[in-house]
């Protein structure tokens, strides 16, 4: 199973944002969007990681409860059952990205797991993707190994 760390960053919310993923210091990517939110960048990072690593089992390690709880607590099932409304009856934020990510995780017989890690806690790889994402947000330029 490959372990991939993901992160999203935003300067202002909304504002210029960046996303990043890395499996190690030599296998990574980041990208930027001019006007976005932190949560959109968190979801985008996972999409990009899964598209790049499109086969085999994957563990996504994220400091985003938004991403991890969607799958651990199966928020997506309630969203679909309620016609893409959240538990308060409001439209699900970032539906366009979730409609891309959910099938990448649930379909195709792949084992995709999610692990939460505390941000800014000294985890080397979490710090690495944080740096990649914030640099992308600041410079509005992505990188790829």
- The CA distance from 64 to 110, in Å, is 22
Q: Looking at the domain assignment, is residue 10 inside a domain?
A: yes
78 is known as an active-site residue:
no
- The CA distance from 6 to 130, in Å, is 8
CATH of the domain at 117: 3.30.420.10
43-84 pLDDT, tens digit each: 999 999 999 998 899 999 999 999 999 999 999 999 999 999
123 is known as an active-site residue:
no
The active-site residue, picked from 8, 17, 31, 142, is 8
Q: Domain limits at 111?
A: 2-139
Q: Looking at the domain assignment, is residue 145 inside a domain?
A: no
Global pTM value: 0.95
The active-site residue, picked from 33, 42, 48, 53, is 42
Q: Looking at the domain assignment, is residue 144 inside a domain?
A: no
Tally of domains in the chain: 1
107 is known as an active-site residue:
no
119 is known as an active-site residue:
no
Q: Mean pLDDT throughout 130-140? A: 96
């Amino acid at each position: 199973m490959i372990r991939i760390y993901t992160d999203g960053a935003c300067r202002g919310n909304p504002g210029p944002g960046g996303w990043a993923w890395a499996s190690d210091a030599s296998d990574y990517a980041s990208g930027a969007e001019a006007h976005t939110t932190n949560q959109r960048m968190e979801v985008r990072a996972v999409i990009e990681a899964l598209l790049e690593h499109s086969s085999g089992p994957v563990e996504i390690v994220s400091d985003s409860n938004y991403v991890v709880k969607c799958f651990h607590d199966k928020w997506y099932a309630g969203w679909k059952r309620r016609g893409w409304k959240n538990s308060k009856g409001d439209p699900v934020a970032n539906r366009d990205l979730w409609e891309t990510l959910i099938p990448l995780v649930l379909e195709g017989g792949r084992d995709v797991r999610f692990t939460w890690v505390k941000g800014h806690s000294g985890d080397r790889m979490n710090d690495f993707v944080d740096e990649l994402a914030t640099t992308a947000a600041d410079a509005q330029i992505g990188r790829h190994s």
